[in-house]
Amino acid sequence: MSIAKTYNPKEAEEKWYSYWMEQGFFRSTPDEREPYTIVMPPPNVTGVLHMGHMLNNTIQDVLIRRARMQCKNACWVPGTDHASIATEAKVVAMLKEQGIDKKSLTREDFLKHAWEWKEKYGGIILKQLEKLGASCDWDRTKFTMDPDLSEAVIDTFIKFYKDGYIYRGVRMVNWDPQGKTALSDEEVIRKEVNQKLYYIRYKIKDSDEYIIIATTRPETIMADTAICINPNDERYQHLKEKKVIVPLVNREIPVIEDEYVEMEFGTGCLKVTPAHDLNDYELGQKHNLPVIDILNDDGTLNEKAEILVGEDRFIARKKIAKLLEEVDQIEKIEDYKSQVGFSERTDAAIEPKLSMQWFCKMEEIAKPALSYVEDGTIKLIPEKFFASYKHWMENVKDWCISRQLWWGQRIPAWYNENNEWVVAKTEAEAVKEFDAQGKSTAAIRQEDDVLDTWFSSGLWPMSVFDGVRNPENEDFKYYYPTNDLVTAPEILFFWVARMIIMGHDYTQKPPFRNVYLTGIVRDKLGRKMSKSLGNSPDPIELMEQYGTDGVRVGMLLSSPAGNDLMFDVSYCEQGRNFANKMWNAFRLVKGWETIDTPATEAQKTAAVWFENRFNQAVTEIDEHFANYRLSDALMSTYKLIWDDFCAWYLELVKPAYQQPIETETLETVKAFFQKVLALAHPFMPFLTEELYHDEIFGTRDAKDCIIVAEYPKVEAFDEKITKEFATVQQIISEIRAIRNSKGISPKVELPLAISNTDVDFAKYQESIIKLANISELSFVQEKVTGALSFLAGKTECYVQLAADNIDVEAERERITKEIEYLKGFLVSVDKKLSNERFVQNAKPEIIQNERNKKADAEAKITILEESLANLV
């Protein structure tokens, strides 16, 4: 049966993904094999596939497919995260469109709407990952608010509380006025913004004198409770023990002294607003200052502000500035740039706010998470992220784990009529606890707040296997700890560190062994891809246009671990071209007729070379995988298939036009083809499966698929053979280059002479004659005068051209330029070798490599100078 002229990716993708699912190839259950486990970083249920997901999940799929082919029990657990803040915002917006205000709903009614939204939209991204070819065990799909996972979260809260890690208290937190919830420090994104610096006059009580205070937030002056000066600042000694009047509200506040104030910054006077700045709060605690909170949860001014009540904070800022100008209490206004915190979820400017919240003590519990990475038990790939990880873990702050939302795991704390509280799993257990403490059990109500989403996802590698509730279950004992985690560097502390913390606390083991940190996908201008910039292509459209295999290859070709990917659709085009190259190579082989005769010696020699080259490439690829250099592993695979297999091996054994090929040689070609398909499968699953099932390979049973075929193992190879043939390739390439530069037709045969060398060229003679179109190949001991010469490795070669084929002046110019270039190159190498610091500090192999470069350049210069002398 003939094969289609062009590859149809869509047809292959639909056919083979459904087939793999039907045959259960993605499914995993514990058995006697070595497990290889990956848990998917659960995308938000609000999410749709973007380029970051594409990169992250392609890498995971490559790793899982390769492990499956290595006869490991490969288990890739998919799932989604409930994403409290983002999802609640989506549901609130949906309700608003329906004319429903969240405030008008009970918690239960709101959650009903939220669950309906989740069921309708929450699985979109997982269906899109199927299009990518993600070979997850879909039967194991989890959601962070599944009943069993939620129970694990509640159990963990109670455990941490009993262990003394969780406490409740009023602290300064990061407040998101749009989401109306507290955030952890890691959920705050710092951005440099253009602001105004307002210099405000504060009148000194019982005096006509003013002091000047510089602030970017004039809307908070109504919350001022002191003015602070440095006790060593000679400019303000006269202000000690004085009082000043807060503008507009005319309230008296004291002048306090503290070395915290930087004399060189601003005017050297600091207004202290304990309710609206973390440092001011700590200063206020130290000096026993009152706290005046003038902001509502939504960022509007409340009654304590006394003026502009109900105004939004940013509108109030402008109005306050105008009011101050009207009473002549603005000295000046300057443009100013400063760092401002924004909510990672809603992009609203953060307000520091005093709030009663639940916190998790981190100092002690975080120590093992640092130790695991320091001693290499967990490897961060690439290692460059260790320094920032270490800094964060050594300076970790208590984690605010409560969120003022309804969507999420509700904190298992209960209050009675006196607002006393206990921590308990159920209301019945709370009643017992109140009774045991001799406290009222009247009007019991549960805490309204839910837990930070990262608290639940911190349990993910354990909870997906029910390891929190039932650590003795077969799945958990078999699959945990997992092997590789593939995620983004920006959640190294949000998520990765917390999984390590919780995993160790429960099991005294790390949750994974390796953390592969991907880069950010950027456009070719270096900008982060985003919908707002309009520079992010739709991944589904890309796969429709270039084929899924083409897009996978395109992304991975340029995505080294931890380094940002400068993405351009041309990479996908390159991936598609690679798929087409393999398809056309297969069509070539499938079209060969056979003759039942043995292989020629040249074909056998070619087979010996390619087998050694293949094993050499597998060794390289295996090393790349071992070091998580997936981009390099793909490039080695790409070069092996495109260059060595298609461009060289198939050309070496290809029969003459309309001539049959020896049966023995075709069988060898088919065996090699299956090997390269297996090597390419993790990167290009659909194309390789399609070709693997062609009738040329015979009839296959239902389970005989490349997805579970044996991945090529590292085997010994003879480096002498690969080096010899590299010289042969160079000879052929040089002759082709001579034809090209001289405008000589490929059909014109040329004579070639090769000087005596330690390479046995006799066994490659037929191949050289065939691929270089040589009329006569001779081996000489002396230089051939009047011929063009070149160096292939250390072998001198001579091509005798007819007089009308040589432009003597042009050739003289070309050789002269090449000699000049090589002499310049020699200068740079000599400079490096004469540098004592380089010679003393560089590795011996690097020094030897430079010496080899020098010797090669000198040999080439000698040959070129002789060629120049021979030109007549």
Each residue of 468-526: pLDDT tens digit? 999 999 999 999 999 999 999 989 998 999 999 999 999 999 999 999 999 888 877 77
First vs last C-alpha separation in the chain: 59
pLDDT at 808: 66
Give residue 491's identity as a one-letter amino acid code. Answer: I
Contact 583, 687 (CB under 8 A): yes
Query: Looking up tokens 């190159």, which residue turns up?
Result: 825
- DSSP, res 490: G
Query: Which residues does 686 contact at the CB level (< 8 Å), separation at least 6?
Result: 9, 12, 13, 16, 17, 133, 547, 548, 549
- The answer to the question of whether 531 is labelled as a binding residue is yes
- pLDDT at 410 > cutoff 60: yes
Is a pLDDT exceeding 90 seen at residue 193?
A: yes
Which neighbouring-strand residues pair with 211? 202
Q: Quote the strand ranges of 115-242, DSSP E.
A: 142-143, 166-176, 181-183, 188-204, 210-215, 226-229
The residues of the chain that CATH labels 3.40.50.620 are 31-154+471-518
What is the CA 599 to chain-centroid distance, rounded?
A: 49
Distance CA 565, CA 529 (A): 10
Tell me the two tokens of residue 422: 């206990």
Cα radius of gyration (the chain): 36
- Give the separation between CA 40 and CA 543, rounded to whole angstroms: 21
Q: For residue range 429-467, what is the model confidence (pLDDT) as tens digits?
A: 999 999 999 999 999 999 999 999 999 999 999 999 999
Tens-place pLDDT, residues 804-856: 566 667 777 877 888 888 888 888 888 888 888 887 788 887 888 888 888 87
Neighbour-count burial for 656-677, b at 16+ CB within 10 Å, e otherwise: eeeeebbebbbebbbebbbbbb
**Start-end ranges of CATH 1.10.730.10 in the chain?**
539-717
Which residue from 459, 502, 485, 457 is spatially nearest to 381, judged by alpha carbons? 485
Residue pair 61/143 in contact by the 8 Å Cβ criterion:
no
Strands (E), 622-730: 661-662
Q: Rounded to 5 degrees, what angle do the CA atoms 498, 28, 47 make?
A: 50
Helices H / strands E in the chain, number of each: 28, 31
DSSP secondary structure, 826-851, as one string: HHHHHHHHT-HHHHHHS-HHHHHHHH
Q: Choose among 618, 786, 586, 620: nearest CA to 692.
A: 586
Q: Measuring CA to CA, how many Å separate 342 from each of 294, 298, 352, 403, 474?
A: 20, 15, 11, 16, 44
Amino acid, res. 342: F
Task: State the chain's mean pLDDT as an integer.
Answer: 92
Out of 106-120, 339-353, 443-457, pick the least confident. Answer: 339-353
Smallest CA-to-CA distance from 684 within 751, 753, 616, 637 is with: 637
Residues 163, 153: Cα–Cα separation, whole Å = 15
Residue 803: its pLDDT value, please? 61
> Which pair of tokens denotes residue 60?
């995971």
Greatest Cα pair distance, the chain, in angstroms, is 115
| Fold exhibited by the domain 539-717 | Isoleucyl-tRNA Synthetase; Domain 1 (1.10.730)
Please give the pLDDT value at position 757. 76
Q: What is the pTM of this model?
A: 0.85
Cα(398)–Cα(392) distance, rounded to whole angstroms?
A: 12
- For residues 620 and 683, the answer to whether their CB atoms sit within 8 Å is no
403 phi/psi in degrees, rounded to 5: -130, 140
CA atoms of 437 and 427, how far apart (whole Å): 15
Check: CB of residue 691 under 8 Å from CB of residue 732.
no
Q: How far is CA 133 from the centre of its chain?
A: 18
What are the angstrom distances between the C-alpha of 563 and each of 536, 560, 810?
Answer: 18, 6, 45
Contact 529, 51 (CB under 8 A): yes
Q: Model confidence over 286-308: pLDDT tens digits? A: 999 999 999 999 999 999 999 99
Cα dihedral 810, 815, 821, 823 in deg (nearest 10) = -150
User: How far is 176 from 424, CA to CA, in rounded Å?
Assistant: 29
- pLDDT (tens digit, 9 = 90+) per residue, 160-192? 999 999 999 988 889 999 988 888 877 888 899
Exposed, middle or buried: residue 738 (CB in 10 Å: 0-12, 13-18, 19+)?
Answer: middle
Task: Pull the structure tokens for residue 71.
Answer: 């006869």
Q: Cα(646)–Cα(654) distance, rounded to whole angstroms?
A: 11
SS3 (DSSP) at 1: coil
With beta carbons less than 8 A apart as the criterion, state whether 630 and 555 touch. no
Residue (of 16, 176, 157, 164) closest to 89 by Cα position: 176
Q: Which CATH number fits domain 31-154+471-518: 3.20.20.70, 1.10.1270.20, 3.10.20.30, 3.40.50.620?
A: 3.40.50.620
Ranges of CATH 3.90.740.10 domains, the chain: 181-351
Both tokens assigned to 300:
């509007």
Question: CB of 704 within 8 A of CB of 29?
Answer: no
Cα–chain-centroid distance for residue 16? Answer: 28
> Contact, 176 vs 183, CB < 8 A?
yes
Q: Measured between alpha carbons, how far is residue 428 from residues 412, 422, 432, 434, 848 in Å?
A: 12, 12, 7, 10, 77
User: Which two three-digit tokens encode residue 116?
Assistant: 């309906």
Helix (H, G, I), strand (E, B) or coil at 574: helix
Let me know the angle formed at the C-alpha of 792 by 789 and 797, rounded to the nearest 5 degrees: 35
Per-residue pLDDT band for 871 (boundaries 50, 70, 90) equals low
Angle between helices 663-680 and 569-590 (to 10 degrees): 160
Q: For the beta carbon of residue 853, count every other beta carbon within 10 angstroms.
A: 16
Q: What percentage of the chain exceeds 70 in pLDDT?
A: 98
CA distances from 723 to 346, 727, 730 (A): 59, 7, 11
In this structure, which CATH number among 1.10.150.120, 3.40.50.10470, 3.90.740.10, 3.40.190.10 belongs to the domain 181-351?
3.90.740.10
Of 28, 62, 25, the C-alpha closest to 479 is: 28
- Residue 486 makes CB contacts below 8 A (sequence gap 6+) with 38, 41, 56, 59, 60, 63, 516, 518
Residue 719, H or E segment: helix 719-742
In which residue are the tokens 């514990």 written? 30
For 693-749, what is each residue's pLDDT tens digit?
Answer: 999 999 999 999 999 999 999 999 999 999 999 999 999 999 999 888 888 888 899
Whether a cis peptide bond, with omega within 30° of 0, leads into 481 is yes
Residue pair 555/631 in contact by the 8 Å Cβ criterion: no
| Chain segment 44-61, per-residue pLDDT in tens | 998 888 888 899 999 999
* pLDDT above 90: residue 785: no
Residue type at 806 in one-letter notation: I
Buried b (16+ CB within 10 A) or exposed e, 267-305: bbbbbbbbbbbeebbebbeebebebbbbbbbebbbeeeb
**Which three-class secondary structure state does DSSP give residue 619?**
helix
What is the full DSSP assignment across 775-821? EEEEEESS--TTSEEEEETTEEEEE---GGG--HHHHHHHHHHHHHH
- Residue 521's H or E segment, with its range, is strand 521-522
Specify the pLDDT at position 805.
Answer: 61
Higher pLDDT, 568 or 483: 483
For residue 770, the SS3 value is: helix
Q: Distance (Å, rounded) from C-alpha 640 to C-alpha 618?
A: 9
Report in angstroms the alpha-carbon separations of 331 from 127, 238, 248, 321, 604. Answer: 61, 21, 15, 11, 91
| Cβ-count burial 79-93 (b if 16+ within 10 Å, e if not) | bbbbbbbbbbbbbbe
Which pLDDT value is given to residue 562? 61
Highest mean pLDDT among 33-37, 231-235, 281-285, 745-749: 33-37
